Amino acid sequence: MKILPNPQKSENISGLFVIGKNSKIFCENEYLSQAERLADLIYGSCGYFLQFTDVIEEAQIIFSRDDALNDEGYIVMISEGVATVTFKDIRGCFYAVETLRQVFRLGVKQDQITCADCYVEDSPKFAYRGLMVDLSRHFFGLDTLKKIVELMSQVKLNVLHLHLTDDQGFRLQIDKYPLLNEIASVRDGSEVEHDGETYVDDVPHGGYLTKQDVRELVAFAKEHCVDVVPEIDIPGHTVAALAAYPQLSCTGGVSEVRKKWGISKEILCAGNDDVYKFVCDVLDEVCELFPAPYVHLGGEEVPKDRWCNCKLCRERMSALKLNGYDELQTYMIEVFRKHLEAKGKRVIIRNDGVTPTTDVDIVSQVWTPVKRRKGAKAQRGRQIIVSPRKYVHFSRSYSLLPLKKVLRLDAYKGVKKADRANVLGVEGALWTQHIENEQQLFYQLLPRLDALAECAWNKRKKDFKLRLQSRLAYYKRENLAFNDKYLKNKDNLNKNGDTD
């Protein structure tokens, strides 16, 4: 069967299922939105709209709940003229419809929908199946993000992580600090590469998500069973915010939003009480907007040069009797962890920001190799999200990161068997230093998103590229940019825009 991502269990049964004009759907009210979604997809494919019935015996498509199934899991049983969909929760119901979309080849024009009888029993290997999009280096607005959410949900990914702030731009409306939007959301130029030469151009770049944008995105994502996890990166990667409020740095000397990429020495001062108030205020507005259970605080790549030379930072460190500046960073993160915990949120930070004194409740996003000894000790007993840059940083060129390499992503690599339960899931990353427009964004993402989903959902299966073909045909129909190197028979899509 051509289902992507590969389900836990699937088999064809002898027999043929036909959806005719008079077929009927039975569904309890609670899940009606999903049954209607299926009816809409069927209408879009073959032009007739199925009726709903209250009498289960009259129905050819039956939706029903079964509390014994796994979270997000479902069973599709198509046999003897009836397609029965069972699930435990709304996500399982949503994913069952996505599987039926593939089994019935919905989206492709058909006179009548037919498929082989079959049985699919499915649930995800990982609860956290994410994609990060960097909105700071280049800004992408609501329409692009909605498209990404839709594509993610079709392959059963469930977390959109937004990298909202960095040196090159602060991308979220914050009412209490209006200069974050007036000043921190715009830069006067960007580092560009041209003919092997690197220079800074003078083309302004700006934008940010308004609160209304976020509300709309979160509601749209919820309909697609996707959580939107916000990231406010601290204490490093904060030059844009510091350009707006330079008094929050150690030197007070930050004068503009950074135009170059790379790592800046300018970071939030760890000894200034106003910094703690500022970050807590920002996080309060963030928590009001994003209902997801996680808030990402970044924490990566923090040069401590400024802290070493700052009277306030040194005083804070000795008052707290801390051993070194890494512990000072950990102290900072802990202040915000407690603030967020009181609001029912859990913190994620990147693994290079995790130290042996980092609270064990903090989730570590492992993107760069963990340092032996000290690093390993810091990670012990901690939940992790696996995002190795060699496998899932989709900003890399396809020559460096071909699809087959993404498919080799192994979330358990280097994890002891006893610690496997600590792997929350996997996440891909779209860093946008060199992604300037939507076309480039989707080209870098597709079809690597499908390979990510294959690894996040279950064990990958060898026939991935075969199952991928109908996804690629879909991208083509939808006019989305994608790497068509993986499309077989490029000129041979049949007249319905499908591959056989």
Nearer to Zn ion, 269 or 452 (CB): 269
What tokens were used for 131? 């994609």
Query: Are the CB atoms for 135 and 171 separated by under 8 Å?
Result: yes
Nearer to Zn ion, 152 or 268 (CB): 268
Gap between the Cα atoms of 196 and 477, Å rounded: 35
Shortest distance (Å) from residue 249 CB to Zn ion: 8
Over the window 306 to 345, marking each residue x when it contacts Zn ion by CB under 5 A and - when it does not, the resulting string is ----x-xx--------------------------------
Q: Estimate the share of the chain in helix, then strand, then coil, as percent rounded to the nearest 5.
A: 35, 20, 40
Nearest to 410 by CA among 386, 376, 380: 386
Residue in the structure block whose two tokens are 């807590």: 280
Identify the three-state secondary structure at position 355: coil
Residue in the structure block whose two tokens are 């937004």: 162
Query: Are the CB atoms for 475 and 482 separated by under 8 Å?
Result: yes
Three-state SS for 275-323 is: HHHHHHHHHHHHHHHCCCCEEEEECCCCCCHHHHCCHHHHHHHHHCCCC
Nearer to Zn ion, 148 or 313 (CB): 313
Of the CA atoms within 13 Å of residue 301, those in its CB half-sphere come to 13
Nearer to Zn ion, 159 or 250 (CB): 250
CB within 8 Å of 219: residues ≥ 6 apart: none
Shortest distance (Å) from residue 464 CB to Zn ion: 50
Query: Are the CB atoms for 355 and 380 separated by under 8 Å?
Result: no
Over the window 244 to 263, marking each residue x when it contacts Zn ion by CB under 5 A and - when it does not, the resulting string is ------x-------------
Shortest distance (Å) from residue 268 CB to Zn ion: 8
Nearest to 228 by CA among 152, 169, 282: 152
Told to check if 271 binds Zn ion by CB under 5 A, we report yes
Nearer to Zn ion, 250 or 354 (CB): 250
Over the window 60 to 99, marking each residue x when it contacts Zn ion by CB under 5 A and - when it does not, the resulting string is ----------------------------------------
Shortest distance (Å) from residue 456 CB to Zn ion: 40
Which of 269, 275, 292, 378 is close enough to bind Zn ion by CB under 5 A? 269
Q: Interface with Zn ion by CB under 5 A: which range of 82-90, 268-276, 317-325, 335-343?
A: 268-276
Q: Interface with Zn ion by CB under 5 A: which range of 232-240, 288-296, 302-310, 463-471?
A: 302-310
Shortest distance (Å) from residue 439 CB to Zn ion: 42
Shortest distance (Å) from residue 307 CB to Zn ion: 6
Shortest distance (Å) from residue 269 CB to Zn ion: 3
Residue count, binding to Zn ion (CB under 5 A): 6
In terms of phi and psi (left: phi > 0; alpha: psi -120 to 50; beta: otherwise), the region of 416 is beta
Residues making contact with Zn ion (CB under 5 A): 250, 269, 271, 310, 312-313
